Chains A and B, each alone.
Chain A
Amino acid sequence: QKEVEQNSGPLSVPEGAIASLNCTYSDRGSQSFFWYRQYSGKSPELIMFIYSNGDKEDGRFTAQLNKASQYVSLLIRDSQPSDSATYLCAVNYGGYSTLTFGKGTMLLVSP
């Protein structure tokens, strides 16, 4: 059973702080890792993906991958109230397989 685990939260951070969202996965064969953001009542949208160990930065977002520890994280710098949403971690196990999603972490950024 391929599993993706996330803390459901909510994770509460003040505006301007760094939000750190974490995800672990069960299958060492996992190849691709994705972070989706889902606003309340809306569909998920892709914000970051990472394939290789290390960090990947895109604006205020940094994805971190550690395949040895089967751990992927998302850092949001200078958090804004507009970042308040549920963040879904998703893992692709290669080839033409589907994505397996975690249940998501709710982030609340207070002004």
Chain B
Amino acid sequence: GAGVSQSPSNKVTEKGKDVELRCDPISGHTALYWYRQSLGQGLEFLIYFQGNSAPDKSGLPSDRFSAERTGGSVSTLTIQRTQQEDSAVYLCASSFLGGRNAGELFFGEGSRLTVL
């Protein structure tokens, strides 16, 4: 596809369950980002992958959150033992890094997570 693809678009889960969110970036984009956005809030950085470098995990809010990126392409964000405060829209973005182009992010439509 031409854009960043995320799945599922909506996920309702019970507190304590694990969830996986998937992101398929734009082909050829070397950088992949996960952000989350709670209702009425700004974008909160979670994790960043760049090529084969070690990911920047500095934004992950707790050790219940983890992410991987396989083959430099598809990424999965996993939230273990979900809590109600994890409810948010999880946005994936990709970019083709080239110096200043680092900020030209292309976002997917997001995965809306609701934890009951």
Contacts and interface: CB of A to CB of B under 8 A. Distances in A.
A34 B104 contact: yes
A32 B100 contact: yes
A92 B102 contact: yes
Nearest to B46: A98
A31 B39 CA distance: 29
Interface stretch (A11-19, A62-70, A75-83, A99-107): A99-107
Determine the interface band of chain A, counting residues with CB < 8 A from chain B: 20 to 34
A98 B33 contact: yes
A36 B102 CA distance: 14
Contact of B103 (A34, A45, A102): A34
Residue of A32, A44, A95 most packed against chain B (CB within 10 A): A44
Contacts of A33: 103
Nearest to B4: A43
Contact of A43 (B42, B104, B110): B110
Contacts of A104: 42
Interface of A: 31-34, 36, 42-46, 49, 51, 88, 90, 92, 95-104
